[in-house]
Amino acid sequence: MYLKKKINEKGKTWEEEYLFGEEIVEKRVKVEGRETRLTSYQANNPLVEGLSLIYYLRARPWEKEQFLLYYLTTSGLVPVEYQYKGQEKIKTRFDHMLADVIVDPVSQVSIWFSKDEQVYPLRISISKDFGILTSRLVKVSYAVK
């Protein structure tokens, strides 16, 4: 993944470029009239954005005590320490199910994942200024080959 930011702050202007590899992140800082600075560091924590958060969490990283990830926002990378809130019994369309509850305080998303092998997101709740939007899994179907 590649990210380029043009920053204008307190009368100073510069560019930052990030190249996210599987194990290494490279950061280039370009300031006009100066030599480009290159910094590399280990990509120890995952980078997610939008719905990829849900796909990442389906791997149940909380079971390995991995709670830190980086969330890509319009302002750049934001470190997020998501929270595992334990298990909760929730009503689904057909029955009650036990689910793992995960809360991301930055994107204000709460996700209830099924405890079965498929780790389905049974419920997703998003809090915003206008209120709360909740979606529920109502059907799972498989493509016919």
pLDDT at 85 (0 to 100): 96
Q: What is the chain's alpha carbon radius of gyration, rounded to the nearest angstrom? A: 19
- In 3D, which of 140, 126, 141, 143 has the Cα closest to residue 51? 126
pLDDT at 138 (0 to 100): 66
pLDDT at 4 (0 to 100): 84
- Please answer whether residues 68 and 80 qualify as being in contact, where contact means their C-beta atoms are separated by less than 8 angstroms: yes
Q: Which amino acid is at 27?
A: K
Query: What string of pLDDT tens digits covers the 145 residues of the chain?
Result: 777 888 888 888 999 888 877 677 788 999 989 999 998 877 777 777 667 788 889 999 999 999 988 877 766 677 889 999 999 999 888 788 899 999 988 778 899 999 988 898 999 998 877 777 777 776 667 777 6
